[in-house]
C-alpha cells in the first residue's frame, strides 16, 4: 500500500492507481449524496463529504475535475433532479476546488474548515445555485435567495462539525501520504 504519492508536483499528472482511486471516491460521493440526515426541516445531504474528500485527497485541480465527473455520473445513474444543465456541473466543480485550496497537503485546522465551508456556502450554494435557478427556471433572483437563505444559514455550521470529524478520520489513514 505504500508508495501512493500525491505530492504537490503531481498536481496535474495522476498515476493510474490514483485515477482509479479518484473514480472510486467519486462513486463514494455519488452514494453519499443520496443520503441525508437530520430532522425533516433541515435535511443535511452528505454529498459535501465527498467534495471535502475530493479536495483533501486530490487537490483543487483533480478535485474539481472529480466534482464535475461526480455530477455527470450521478445524473447518468439517478437522473439529474434539476434537469441536465451545465451550471450544476460547474457548481459541483467549484466545491472540491475550494476545499482543495484549503485542505490539500495541509494540516487540518479549525479556521481552514470554517473558512472553506463559508466560502463554499456563499459562492456555491448561495451564489451559483441561486443564479442557475434564476437562469434556468426564470425564478426571480430575490425570490430564489429568500427560499435558500434560511437553510443556508443553518447547514454550514453542521457541515463544519462533520467536516472536522471526517478530516480527522481520513488524515489518520496515512496510507496514501
Partner 1 sequence: MSKILIGRYIPGDSLIYKMDPRGKLLATIFFILIIFLANNWITYGILIIFSLAAVYATKLRPKVFWDGIKPLIWLIFFTSLLQLFFTSGGTTYWKWSIFTISSYGITNAIYIFIRFTLIILISTVMTLTTMPLEIANAMEWLLTPLKYLRVPVDKIALVMSIALRFVPTLFDETVKIMNAQRSRGADFNDGGLIKRAKAIAPLLVPLFIESLETAVELSTAMEARGYRGSEGRSRYRILRWSKYDLICLGYFVILVGLLLVFRTR
Angstrom distance (rounded) from CA 28 to CA 12: 22
Angstrom distance (rounded) from CA 4 to CA 57: 11
- Assess contact for 170 and 56: CB atoms under 8 A: yes
Q: Read off the C-alpha cell for 63.
A: 478535485
Phi-psi region of 2 (alpha: psi -120 to 50; beta: other; left: phi over 0): beta
Q: How far is the CB of 64 from partner 1 (least distance, A)?
A: 12
Q: Which is nearer to partner 1, 105 or 141 (CB)?
A: 141
Does the protein bind partner 1 through residue 39 (CB under 8 A)? Answer: no
Does the protein bind partner 1 through residue 85 (CB under 8 A)? Answer: yes
Contact characters 2-21, partner 1, x per CB under 8 A? --x---------xxxxxxxx
Angstrom distance (rounded) from CA 67 to CA 82: 17
Angstrom distance (rounded) from CA 142 to CA 119: 20
Residues 87-126 that bind partner 1 (CB under 8 A): none
- Stretches 92-100, 102-110, 116-124, 168-176: which one binds partner 1 (CB under 8 A)? 168-176
Q: Read off the C-alpha cell for 123.
A: 459562492
> How many Cβ atoms are within 10 Å of 100's Cβ, its own excluded?
27
Does the protein bind partner 1 through residue 41 (CB under 8 A)? Answer: no
- Stretches 94-102, 105-113, 114-122, 131-139: which one binds partner 1 (CB under 8 A)? 131-139
- Report strand pairing: 44-45 vs 36-37: antiparallel
Does the protein bind partner 1 through residue 40 (CB under 8 A)? Answer: no
- Stretches 79-87, 95-103, 110-118, 120-128: which one binds partner 1 (CB under 8 A)? 79-87
Q: Name the site residues for partner 1 (rule: CB under 8 A).
A: 1, 4, 14-28, 30-31, 34-35, 37-38, 46, 49, 53, 65-66, 69-70, 72-73, 75-85, 133, 136-140, 142-144, 146-147, 158, 161-162, 164-166, 168-170, 172-173, 175-176
Amino acid at each position: 500500500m505504500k508508495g501512493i504519492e500525491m505530492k504537490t508536483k503531481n498536481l496535474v499528472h495522476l498515476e493510474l492507481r490514483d485515477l482509479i482511486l479518484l473514480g472510486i471516491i467519486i462513486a463514494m460521493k455519488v452514494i453519499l449524496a443520496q443520503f441525508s440526515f437530520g430532522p425533516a426541516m433541515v435535511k443535511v445531504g452528505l454529498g459535501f463529504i465527498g467534495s471535502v474528500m475530493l479536495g483533501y485527497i486530490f487537490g483543487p485541480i483533480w478535485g474539481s475535475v472529480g466534482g464535475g465527473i461526480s455530477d455527470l455520473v450521478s445524473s447518468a445513474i439517478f437522473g439529474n433532479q434539476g434537469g441536465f444543465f451545465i451550471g450544476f456541473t460547474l457548481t459541483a466543480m467549484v466545491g472540491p476546488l475550494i476545499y482543495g485550496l484549503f485542505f490539500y497537503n495541509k494540516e487540518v485546522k479549525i479556521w481552514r474548515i470554517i473558512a472553506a465551508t463559508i466560502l463554499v456556502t456563499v459562492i456555491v450554494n448561495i451564489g451559483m445555485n441561486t443564479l442557475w435557478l434564476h437562469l434556468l427556471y426564470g425564478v426571480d433572483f430575490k425570490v430564489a435567495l429568500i427560499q435558500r437563505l434560511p437553510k443556508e444559514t443553518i447547514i454550514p455550521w453542521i457541515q463544519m462539525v462533520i467536516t472536522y470529524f471526517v478530516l480527522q478520520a481520513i488524515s489518520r489513514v496515512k496510507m496514501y501520504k
